[in-house]
Structure 1
């Protein structure tokens, strides 16, 4: 059934005006599925149903950025809607679907060579973040890009990939405070690439280049289910960008980041690969309003050749079970550093996870940050042997809560097989 916009025009004209946005059929499929009643924190209370109750006039298939933005409507459009992604959608395009890049977004005053000269630690120092003409121009450039690639996802929305080839490249789905009841499934997300990273000499002992965009940012939203998606840097690994001031010129931030008191999130059967900063839960030690929130379940996800943050947690009650981690500490592009970041007031409850990382010690599965004191860990397998990450790091197991919302927890010995067979876009059995 097609939406009738103007009854007096020809069918060809209607097709042109719709620019490919056509309501899909209402047959039972991924778009109409809802989260099971016990499937992690997103099942809490009202559960997560997304746009499953959408009327036929609010069910769309989209093939480019403009169609996607039109189908979503404004960030306050809470009408239930189902959006099917067909094929590859590049978010770095104009409204005519022509590719955009650095020169299209760049503020006239921004000059990378002048930026390097202005903020060289030898002259700028290492005790303060950049400010002034070139930093202002960099920010404006970044804001120009953000206006194209950061897409707000409103409440009561389901976005699913159609078939096995749905892909979003260069985009950032933004689920902000006030958004509720959102489902994102069966989509491959690649290369949320920031053309204008910021130099921060105060980040760490040697400074760092930092980027803005994640593939999916959950910043204050509630009741979100991210399922059977794939995340990676795509064709632009940061290792190909060279170094400046002795640090890798990094153009990617997270894949799936959760902060700003977001709550009731389930991420299941996703495939995270070839990426550095994978998932941050909680934005900073000073964001104490996150305490009591950030309730997240991560299960049956596949992490392959990721460096860190799988996940890195502050404050949250995070259930991590039946995830599989595969990698190498000597990988030249994405060397494994740690999986679980035990940060300030974090309350991680980990069960039956498996790791295949040659030569890794149990303690190095986690990285303990300032204010991180507790971790409940049971059933962890490291290269086929049972280990306990909490005791290896002298952490208390008194996290103060016990998960109650979960389905079958697979035996640790079966995790690798089950996860590799099922995790990622297009892997529905």
Structure 2
């Protein structure tokens, strides 16, 4: 006991010494500086709480931010980092430790969970230093300015992205930020807000994006369709050439944003993406909605938008503007409640509330600004894995449906997963594989239950649930059982086993509407 206490005392002393050397102020505060709660899709999949309930550290350098991450007991320990001053290349260096995976010249939020990065007062400035989120979840970024991040020239950071996310990222809320560049690709800049490689459940709210060639994308190619469930609301896009955003597959909800001076194109929905576009104000811009620079069609549901001095190009082989007079070509249901400001007041409410240093004010849903209450300090459970704790209820929609898959072991059948008989089953031809349930008409699903056959319990390791129509990942995790997915209307849903122990035997692939 004496030795373990001494070790703890030594570790604490080392943490304080490292913090002092790197510009961090350690605090015993156990309350988040964030106000309000995550809205839109970031509030789904278990929610986004960041560092709520953990300690708070004040950092004045990028190195101090990295040190605060490294000093945590584990990569999951909740932590709020209050950032003050200007973060630049000179004060952002790599720090090593058990709770981090950092690098020089970039704020690296890699392989971590449960972290809030929030600017103090009028906000912190990240000058030519980007923020990179990779293989991480439950992250909040609030009240910061990120400017002039370059991918070429000097200095470079984060591939030229102000904020970039990739590789299995889940549940990130970016709020009241200002993301800006000083030109486009020819000047050395890339994008302001990019989501790639299976990034889901993200909200960008009350933020300013301006003076850039590219606003942001969801998916880095027309074949990378595992990204989605992104909400954009009450943001200002100003003097942007294109990608506000560019959507490749997946679902986006885009409402109450103010678009001004979009020079080439705006919301670019392609490769099967579906966008719900509500009550936005488009002004002095060109081709603000459609499918552009490809023949891989995307879709949109529109309502309540105002188009003020918007010009539209003629349709072409790779140019499919939604206007003049945009109309819906799909329907999109979102699983959360929200309040819409009338589009006529969007310029006023967005210019009063969006961006860093605006007092974290938000709309009350009636075109008036208000300051939300502080976020409760009591943490909620982390958002993944997505397997739910309770069994689904209601009618099993799989009974009588069709089935197919990637391959099957001898003596097994795809149809066995939807026959209601626990004595029959499907097994993949190898240790991994997929099986699908499909219907002749669009069917709404929000929960599934994967039931293993007797004697095979525990064989299912890692898995993904996919929208079979679009290829979008609806959920991921490990182990069979009840799984919650975003409420989705589709004709085919796929359970893909990506890792196993032994030979998986799936007796039933049950699907439910609620």
TM over 0.5: yes
* Residues 34, 8 of structure 1: alpha-carbon distance in 2 compared, 3 angstrom cutoff: closer
- Map of 1:426 onto structure 2: 357
Note if contact 1:377-1:390 (Cα within 8 Å) is conserved in structure 2.
no
Q: Which residue of 1 aligns with 2:25?
A: 22
Q: Does 1:350 align with 2:277?
A: yes
Higher alpha-carbon Rg: 2
Structure 1 position 82, deviation (Å): 0.4
Aligned residues: 331
- 1:169 maps to what in 2? 127
CA distance in structure 2 between the aligned counterparts of 1:277 and 1:5, rounded to whole angstroms: 49
Structure 2 counterparts to residues 181-260 of structure 1, below 5 A: 181-196=138-153, 212-219=159-166, 220-233=168-181, 237-238=182-183, 249-260=186-197
Q: Which has the higher contact order (CA 8 A, sep 6+)?
A: 1
Give ranges in structure 1 of 5+ residues lacking alignment.
Answer: 97-144, 198-210, 240-247, 329-335
Name the residue aligned to 2:75.
77
8 A contact 2:234–2:256 mirrored in 1: yes
Distance 1:89 1:150, change over 3 A: closer
2:106·2:132 contact (CA, 8 Å) conserved in 1?
A: no
Deviations 1:329-365 (A, max 9, x none): xxxxxxx1111012211111100000121xx46x454
Distance of 1:147 and 1:403 partners within structure 2: 39
- Structure 2 vs 1, CA of residues 384 and 378 (structure 1 numbering), >3 Å: closer, same or farther? farther
Alignment-derived partner of residue 413 in structure 2: none
Shift of 1:249: 2.9
How far does residue 395 in structure 1 lie from its aligned partner after superposition? 8.1
Question: What is the alpha-carbon distance in structure 1 between the residues aligned to residue 277 and residue 321 of structure 2?
Answer: 10
Say if 1:187 and 1:230, in contact at 8 Å, map to a contact too. Answer: yes
1:319 aligns with 2:253: yes
User: What do the CA deviations read for 1:69-111 (whole angstroms, capped 9, x no partner)?
Assistant: 1112299711111000001111354659xxxxxxxxxxxxxxx
SS state of the match for residue 113, structure 2? coil
The structure richer in helix per residue is 1
Partner of 1:132: none
- Partner SS, residue 346 of structure 2: helix
Q: Is the 8 A contact 2:152 2:189 kept in 1?
A: no
Task: Tell me how far apart the structure 1 counterparts of residues 199 and 44 of structure 2 sit (CA, whole Å).
Answer: 13
Structure 1 residue 281: Cα displacement: 0.8
Query: Are the structure 2 counterparts of residues 24 and 418 from structure 1 closer, same or farther at C-alpha, using a change threshold of 3 Å?
Result: farther
How much has 1:300 moved relative to structure 2?
0.2
Deviation at 1:394, TM superposition (A): 9.5
The structural deviation recorded for 1:196 is: 5.0
**Residues 23 and 60 of structure 1 are in contact (CA less than 8 Å); yes or no, is this contact kept in structure 2?**
yes
- Mapped partners of 2:179, 2:357: distance in 1: 13
- 2:90 matches 1:68: no
Deviation of 1:151 (Å): 1.4
Cα distance change of structure 1 residues 41 and 17 upon mapping to structure 2, 3 Å threshold: closer
CA shift digits 1:16-69 (9 cap, x unpaired): 8444312346375534x4625xx2011113111011010xxx321101121111
Partner in structure 1 of residue 52 of structure 2: 52
Q: Is the 8 A contact 1:390 1:396 kept in 2?
A: no
Q: 1:160 aligns with which of 103, 118, 123?
A: 118
What is the aligned partner in structure 2 of residue 151 from structure 1?
Answer: 108
Q: Judge conservation of contact 1:88–1:165 (CA < 8 Å) in 2.
A: no
> Distance between the aligned counterparts of 2:58 and 2:216, measured in 1?
29
259, 279, 282: which is aligned to 2:216? 279
Give distance in 2, aligned partners of 1:378 and 1:405: 18
Distance in 1, matches of 2:200 and 2:28, equals 32
User: What are the ranges of 5 or more consecutive residues in structure 2 without an aligned counterpart?
Assistant: 1-7, 95-101, 313-319, 362-514
Match of 1:409 among 340, 364, 371: 340
Q: Which residue of 1 aligns with 2:382?
A: none
Residue of structure 1 aligned with 2:84, choices 59, 83, 86: 86
Question: Which is strand-richer, 1 or 2?
Answer: 2
Secondary structure, aligned partner of 2:51 = coil
Distance of 2:20 and 2:68 partners within structure 1: 14
Q: Which residue, out of 394, 397, 413, partners 2:328?
A: 397
SS at match of 1:414: helix
Residues 196-246 of structure 1, C-alpha deviation per residue, up to 9 Å, x if partnerless?
59xxxxxxxxxxxxx92311111131011000000111xxx247xxxxxxx
* Structure 2 residue 240 is matched with structure 1 residue 306: yes
Give the aligned partner of residue 120 of structure 1.
none
Tell me if the contact between 1:51 and 1:157 (Cα under 8 Å) persists in the aligned partners.
Answer: yes
Deviation at 1:148, TM superposition (A): 2.9
Give the equivalent residue in structure 2 for 1:122: none
Kept in 1: contact 2:32–2:52 (CA 8 A): no
Q: Is the 8 A contact 2:179 2:210 kept in 1?
A: yes
Contact 1:374 1:396 in 2 (8 A): no
Conservation of the 8 A alpha-carbon contact between 2:270 and 2:299: no
Deviation at 1:381, TM superposition (A): 0.7
